[in-house]
Structure 1
Amino acid sequence: MTIQQSYKITPIANLLGRSGSSHLLLGLLTVAPTGTLAISDLTGSIALDLQHAKPHVGKDAAWFCPGMIVLIDGVYEEDHNATTSGLGQTGGIGGTIGGKFIGFSIGGPPCERRNVTVGVSDGVKSENGDVTAGAGFGWVDFLGVGSERATGSKLRRTEQRLLGPDGAHTGTAKMVVCGEVNLDSPSTLEALHKMLRSYATDDADRMPMTVVLMGNFVTHAVMAGGNSGSGGSIEYKEYFNALASVLTEYPALLRRTTLVLVPGDKDPWASAFSAGASAVVPKKGVPDIFTSRVKRAFAEANREAGVKKSGVEGEAVFATNPARISLFGPAHEIVLFRDDISSRLRRTAIRFATLSHDLEQGEPVEADATMMSGGLGTDSSTRENTMDVDTPTPAPAAFPSAESADFETLMARKLVRTVLDQSHLSPFPLSTRPVHWDYASALQLYPLPTTLVLADAEAPAFAVTYEGCHVMNPGRLVREGRGNQIGWLEYDVVSKRGVVKEDML
Structure 2
Amino acid sequence: MANTIRRIEKPAPVPDPTPNPIPSSSPAFGTPVHPILPRRTAPIPAPPGLKAAPPALKPTILPILLPPATLRPLAFRTFTKKHNLTLTSSALQALAAFIGRHCGSGWREEGLAEHVLEEVAKSWKKGSGQVIVDGEGGSLKSILNAVEGSMSGGRIVQGRTSALSRQGSLNFGPEGSDQEIGNSRPGLGDSQNSFGISTLEVEDPKEEEDALKDPREWIKMIGAFDQPKMIYNINKKHFEKCNTKPSLFPPPSHKTELFRQRYHVVHQRILRNETFQTPTFSASRSSALARTSSLSTSQTNTITPIANLLGRSGSTHLLLGMLTISPTGTLSLSDLTGTIALDLQHARPIPEDGVYFAPGMIVLVDGTYEEDYNNPAAGSSSALGNTGGVGGTIGGKFVGFSVGHPPCERRSTTLGSTDQDPSHQSSTLTGPAFGWTDFLGLGSERATGARMSRLASRLLPSTSKHTIAIASDLHLDVPSTLSALRTLLSTYTPHPTDQNPSYPLAIILIGNFSSRATLAGVPGAGSIEYKEHFDALAAVLAEFPMLIARTSLVFVPGDNDAWSSAFSAGSAAPLPRKSVPALFTNRIRRVVAEANREIWGAGGAAKAGGEKGKGDGKRKEGEVIWTTNPTRLSWFGVKGEMVLFRDDIVSRLGRTAIRFGKPQQQDGDEEGPISSPPPPTVNEEDTQPMDLDLPSANPSSNVAEQLDPDTLTARALTRTLLSQSHLSPFPLSLRPLHWDYAHSLNLYPLPTALVVADRDAPPFVVRYCGCTVMNPGTIDETAGRGRGASGRARWVEFDVGTGRGAVRSEG
TM bucket normalised to smaller: 0.7 to 0.9
With over 3 angstroms needed to count, the CA separation of the structure-2 counterparts of 1:279 and 1:34, relative to structure 1, is same
Which whole-Å CA distance do the structure 2 matches of 1:443 and 1:127 have between them?
Answer: 27
Letter in 2 for 1:23: H
- 1:216 aligns to what? 512
Which whole-Å CA distance do the structure 2 matches of 1:128 and 1:89 have between them?
Answer: 46
- 2:804 aligns to what? 497
Which whole-Å CA distance do the structure 2 matches of 1:154 and 1:127 have between them?
Answer: 23
Deviations 1:15-61 (A, max 9, x none): 0111111111000110111111111111111111111212233x211
- 1:169 aligns to what? 464
Per-residue deviation, 1:68: 0.4
Listed as ranges, the matches of 1:103-142 within 5 Å are: 103-122=400-419, 133-142=430-439
Please say which structure displays the higher CA radius of gyration.
Answer: 2
Check if 1:315 corresponds to 2:619. Answer: no
Listed as ranges, the matches of 1:224-303 within 5 Å are: 224=520, 226-227=521-522, 229-303=523-597
Per-residue deviation, 1:346: 0.5
Which whole-Å CA distance do the structure 1 matches of 2:798 and 2:380 have between them?
Answer: 56
With over 3 angstroms needed to count, the CA separation of the structure-2 counterparts of 1:127 and 1:402, relative to structure 1, is closer
Which whole-Å CA distance do the structure 2 matches of 1:127 and 1:413 have between them?
Answer: 19
Which whole-Å CA distance do the structure 2 matches of 1:384 and 1:55 have between them?
Answer: 16
Indicate conservation of the 8 Å contact 1:221/1:230, yes or no.
no
Letter in 1 for 2:493: A
- 1:82 aligns to what? 375
Indicate conservation of the 8 Å contact 1:16/1:88, yes or no.
no
Letter in 2 for 1:19: S
Per-residue deviation, 1:356: 2.4
With over 3 angstroms needed to count, the CA separation of the structure-2 counterparts of 1:139 and 1:266, relative to structure 1, is same
- 2:758 aligns to what? 456
Which whole-Å CA distance do the structure 2 matches of 1:15 and 1:9 have between them?
Answer: 11
Deviations 1:235-277 (A, max 9, x none): 1011100000000000010110100010011111111111111
* Secondary structure class of the residue paired with 2:380: coil
Indicate conservation of the 8 Å contact 2:337/2:383, yes or no.
no
- 1:193 aligns to what? 486
- 1:33 aligns to what? 327
Bigger shift: 35-44 or 306-315?
Answer: 306-315
- 2:336 aligns to what? 42
* Secondary structure class of the residue paired with 1:329: coil
Which whole-Å CA distance do the structure 2 matches of 1:131 and 1:109 have between them?
Answer: 14
Per-residue deviation, 1:357: 4.3
Deviations 1:61-119 (A, max 9, x none): 11111000010011111111125275237986611111111111100101000011112
Check if 1:206 corresponds to 2:502. Answer: yes
CA RMSD of aligned residues (A): 3.0
* Secondary structure class of the residue paired with 1:324: strand
Instruction: Please list every run of 5 or more consecutive structure 1 residues that lacks an aligned counterpart in the other structure.
Output: 361-374
Check if 1:178 corresponds to 2:471. Answer: yes
With over 3 angstroms needed to count, the CA separation of the structure-2 counterparts of 1:357 and 1:101, relative to structure 1, is closer
Which whole-Å CA distance do the structure 2 matches of 1:136 and 1:426 have between them?
Answer: 24
* Secondary structure class of the residue paired with 1:70: strand
Structure (1 or 2) with the greater strand fraction? 1
Deviations 1:135-174 (A, max 9, x none): 310000000100000001100100010111xx2221xx11
Which whole-Å CA distance do the structure 1 matches of 2:569 and 2:584 have between them?
Answer: 19
- 1:388 aligns to what? 689
Structure (1 or 2) with the greater helix fraction? 2
Which whole-Å CA distance do the structure 1 matches of 2:680 and 2:436 have between them?
Answer: 34
Indicate conservation of the 8 Å contact 1:82/1:89, yes or no.
no
Which whole-Å CA distance do the structure 2 matches of 1:121 and 1:196 have between them?
Answer: 34
- 1:348 aligns to what? 656
Indicate conservation of the 8 Å contact 2:320/2:365, yes or no.
yes
Check if 1:73 corresponds to 2:375. Answer: no
Which whole-Å CA distance do the structure 2 matches of 1:359 and 1:102 have between them?
Answer: 20
* Secondary structure class of the residue paired with 1:175: strand
Per-residue deviation, 1:233: 0.9
Indicate conservation of the 8 Å contact 2:576/2:629, yes or no.
yes
Indicate conservation of the 8 Å contact 2:344/2:401, yes or no.
yes
Return the TM-score normalized by structure 1: 0.88
Which whole-Å CA distance do the structure 2 matches of 1:32 and 1:379 have between them?
Answer: 24
Which whole-Å CA distance do the structure 2 matches of 1:313 and 1:127 have between them?
Answer: 38
Which whole-Å CA distance do the structure 1 matches of 2:733 and 2:420 have between them?
Answer: 43
With over 3 angstroms needed to count, the CA separation of the structure-2 counterparts of 1:404 and 1:82, relative to structure 1, is closer
Check if 1:51 corresponds to 2:345. Answer: yes
Identity %: 54
* Secondary structure class of the residue paired with 1:9: coil
Which whole-Å CA distance do the structure 2 matches of 1:261 and 1:379 have between them?
Answer: 38
Deviations 1:381-406 (A, max 9, x none): x968734337xxx9xxx9x9434422
Indicate conservation of the 8 Å contact 2:350/2:681, yes or no.
no
* Secondary structure class of the residue paired with 2:793: strand
Return the TM-score normalized by structure 2: 0.56
- 1:366 aligns to what? none
Which whole-Å CA distance do the structure 1 matches of 2:513 and 2:322 have between them?
Answer: 35
Which whole-Å CA distance do the structure 2 matches of 1:89 and 1:41 have between them?
Answer: 12
With over 3 angstroms needed to count, the CA separation of the structure-2 counterparts of 1:338 and 1:125, relative to structure 1, is closer
Indicate conservation of the 8 Å contact 2:779/2:793, yes or no.
yes
Which whole-Å CA distance do the structure 2 matches of 1:462 and 1:358 have between them?
Answer: 34
With over 3 angstroms needed to count, the CA separation of the structure-2 counterparts of 1:14 and 1:230, relative to structure 1, is farther
* Secondary structure class of the residue paired with 2:638: helix
Which whole-Å CA distance do the structure 1 matches of 2:688 and 2:428 have between them?
Answer: 21
Which whole-Å CA distance do the structure 2 matches of 1:425 and 1:230 have between them?
Answer: 33
Check if 1:155 corresponds to 2:452. Answer: yes
Which whole-Å CA distance do the structure 1 matches of 2:324 and 2:681 have between them?
Answer: 28
- 1:23 aligns to what? 317
With over 3 angstroms needed to count, the CA separation of the structure-2 counterparts of 1:335 and 1:359, relative to structure 1, is same
- 2:779 aligns to what? 477
Per-residue deviation, 1:125: 9.2
* Secondary structure class of the residue paired with 2:743: helix
With over 3 angstroms needed to count, the CA separation of the structure-2 counterparts of 1:130 and 1:209, relative to structure 1, is closer
Letter in 1 for 2:729: P
* Secondary structure class of the residue paired with 1:176: strand
Which whole-Å CA distance do the structure 2 matches of 1:334 and 1:13 have between them?
Answer: 40
Deviations 1:369-426 (A, max 9, x none): xxxxxx943699x968734337xxx9xxx9x943442221111111100111000000
With over 3 angstroms needed to count, the CA separation of the structure-2 counterparts of 1:128 and 1:288, relative to structure 1, is closer
Indicate conservation of the 8 Å contact 1:9/1:24, yes or no.
yes
Deviations 1:425-454 (A, max 9, x none): 000000000001221111000000001111
Letter in 1 for 2:754: L
- 2:153 aligns to what? none
Indicate conservation of the 8 Å contact 1:254/1:301, yes or no.
yes
Check if 1:415 corresponds to 2:710. Answer: no
* Secondary structure class of the residue paired with 1:42: coil
Listed as ranges, the matches of 1:353-432 within 5 Å are: 354-357=661-664, 376-377=678-679, 386-389=687-690, 401-432=703-734
Letter in 2 for 1:389: M
* Secondary structure class of the residue paired with 2:605: helix
Check if 1:12 corresponds to 2:306. Answer: yes
Indicate conservation of the 8 Å contact 2:318/2:364, yes or no.
yes
Which whole-Å CA distance do the structure 1 matches of 2:557 and 2:652 have between them?
Answer: 18
Which whole-Å CA distance do the structure 1 matches of 2:739 and 2:710 have between them?
Answer: 34
Which whole-Å CA distance do the structure 2 matches of 1:499 and 1:126 have between them?
Answer: 18
Deviations 1:322-356 (A, max 9, x none): 1100100001101111111011010111123x332
Which whole-Å CA distance do the structure 2 matches of 1:86 and 1:30 have between them?
Answer: 19
Which whole-Å CA distance do the structure 1 matches of 2:423 and 2:491 have between them?
Answer: 43
Which whole-Å CA distance do the structure 2 matches of 1:350 and 1:257 have between them?
Answer: 44
Q: Which of 747, 750, 769 is the aligned partner of 1:467?
A: 769
